[in-house]
Structure 1
Amino acid sequence: MSGIAFKDGDWIETARTGWGLEDRGGLLGDGLFETLHVIKGKAVRFDRHMARLARSASELGLPGPRDADGIAELIGELAARNALKDAVVRLTLTAGAGPRGLERPDELVPSLTLTAAPRKAPPASVALSLSEIRRSPASLTARHKTLSYMDNVQARRQARGQGADMALLTDTRGNLSGGDCANLFWLTSGEVFTPATACGVLAGTVRAEILDSMPVEAGAFPVDMLAGAETVFVTNAVFGAVPVTTLDGRPVGSGELPAKIAAIFA
């Protein structure tokens, strides 16, 4: 879809947003991104997204965006220029151009791009397929929303080939980690559980809101914990929370979102 994007200080047509041939984001995945749900020009959970971006940029040695208010204004203008009232905006921050090889230039000139698309209606439910790909708790690409997304791409491709909507990944020790683009939760005996970040989990913005809203036990759990769950659901910034109906073709949970979780998104 054609539209308008923001790139390094300019408003341009989306067809012209391609990275330069020396951009480390495109060559090496040296960068970060955030996916934001934008309603009437306002990004949902904007402060959580900016805080996560700042933490990741600091740990990875990238100059993070310093003007959060300015970015919020740009997102609002981006949605307006594309005539979108309910949008998904992607913020992409790369290390910018650099010489051939792994070492960054002495002075980084980061590149910032904002693109927007219409938000699709969230699915009523999700079918999961257990992936053979495993996340390493020590991996930066598991803990941060980097541009290196090949594990997730491959996991989704395999899941779709097996008739599922999304892949479910474990860590290298076999503990539950999460969906290929989502965090994982379940209810057992009325208590809410989720894998801990030490299980190769990306600290999602919706995940953080749920943890701040109610008691949740985060830890290392085997896959068979889901077999006896009353409800299983996945979360991300774009669709909020969606119940899971099957895992590898076998029914799990009630297929309905718990009322106390649905209330967060009301």
Structure 2
Amino acid sequence: MTVWLNGEWLNDEAAGPGAGDRGFLLGDGLFETLRYSGGRVCRLKAHEQRLRASCQALDLTCPLDAVSLGPVIAELAGRAGLPEAAIRLTLTAGRGERGLARTGAHEPFCLITAAPLGARPASLSLASIGLQRSGSSLAARHKTLSYIDNVMARREARRAGADMALLLDTQGRLSGADCANLFWLRDGRLFTPALECAVLPGTARAAIIAAMDVEQGGFGPDSLAAAECVFVTNALMGAVAVSRIDGGPAGAGQAVPAAVKAVLD
């Protein structure tokens, strides 16, 4: 196969894995984002479980069958000189014949990278946007490489002057932020959208639910109006308070509950 890459004529091998890789061409793959801190990967077992479940759902060969993730990440962070790092594992279906069907001999492509872990923001603002998540979509329930909805949601939120997008599902129920799960505190009780609301099963979300009493369900956007505190969670930043939604104050200004921080930190 001959390719044209940024003005150069190359054979496919010289062009790199992207020339025939299904992840690059079709988004046929998934990724996992992990936090490395204090000499360990935070909630490694939960990430491994989610990775295995997503590989099974997407019919991908799981790299954990051949690689022990913890030692690899520790060495990667050490080689990069990063005592704290944002780790990304990218897994694709690999190279195959042209077309949608996975035909032809191909092997999965797995890439793990380490980047400096950014500072946790003091708070975040959210903006409601037009895009809605479908509960039947694999892209909503797994961290697939088909991430364009999230990219464009963030772009729309930034244009509205917010940090992140607040997403609903196709039934108009709260789903989450563009790269984080959503929680709120009302009358001393924690709430979060149920997985059926096109929610990605975040590892931080799971840790909170396992340790605390959290009501999961289908909630409309008005549920946030009476909240004492609204916050979002993901693997890298933990729990961060939401200060504003659609330009107005979010909640009554309470901080993220100390019990939540204790679970994640």
- Who wins on radius of gyration, i.e. which is larger? 2
1:41·1:75 contact (CA, 8 Å) conserved in 2?
Answer: no
Partner of 1:263: 262
Partner of 1:249: 247
Picking from 184, 189, 192, the partner of 1:191 is: 189
Return the letter of the residue paired with 1:66.
L
Task: Tell me the percent identity.
Answer: 54
Picking from 42, 46, 49, the partner of 2:47 is: 49
1:135·1:169 contact (CA, 8 Å) conserved in 2?
Answer: yes
Partner of 1:182: 180
Return the letter of the residue paired with 1:64.
C
2:96·2:104 contact (CA, 8 Å) conserved in 1?
Answer: no
Return the letter of the residue paired with 1:213.
A
- Give SS of 2:68's match: helix
**Alpha-carbon displacement from aligned partner over 1:123-178 (angstroms, at most 9, x marks no partner):** 00000001110000000000001000000000000100111000000000000000
Partner of 1:4: none
Picking from 46, 68, 71, the partner of 1:70 is: 68
- 2-structure distance, mates of 1:198, 1:59: 16
**Cα offset, 1:255, TM superposition:** 4.9
- Give SS of 1:20's match: helix
- Give SS of 1:63's match: coil
Return the letter of the residue paired with 1:258.
P
Q: Which moved more, 1:66-75 or 1:87-96?
A: 66-75
- Give SS of 1:84's match: coil
- 2-structure distance, mates of 1:102, 1:108: 14
- Give SS of 2:139's match: helix
**Cα offset, 1:99, TM superposition:** 1.2
- Give SS of 1:128's match: strand
Return the letter of the residue paired with 2:143.
K
RMSD: 1.6
**Alpha-carbon displacement from aligned partner over 1:97-131 (angstroms, at most 9, x marks no partner):** 01111010254410110011000111000000011
Picking from 29, 35, 38, the partner of 1:37 is: 35
Partner of 2:161: 163
* Unaligned residue ranges in structure 1 (runs of 5+): 1-15
- Give SS of 1:257's match: coil
2:121·2:240 contact (CA, 8 Å) conserved in 1?
Answer: yes
* Unaligned residue ranges in structure 2 (runs of 5+): 1-13
1:41·1:77 contact (CA, 8 Å) conserved in 2?
Answer: no
- Give SS of 2:19's match: coil
- 2-structure distance, mates of 1:71, 1:245: 36
Change (3 A) 1:89 1:133: same
**Cα offset, 1:225, TM superposition:** 0.2
Picking from 198, 208, 213, the partner of 2:211 is: 213
- 2-structure distance, mates of 1:192, 1:149: 29
Change (3 A) 1:232 1:33: same
TM-score scaled by structure 2? 0.91
- 1-structure distance, mates of 2:227, 2:15: 45
Partner of 2:121: 123
How many correspondences in the alignment?
Answer: 251
TM-score scaled by structure 1? 0.91
Return the letter of the residue paired with 2:255.
E
**Cα offset, 1:265, TM superposition:** 3.1
Picking from 221, 229, 235, the partner of 2:227 is: 229
1:50·1:68 contact (CA, 8 Å) conserved in 2?
Answer: no
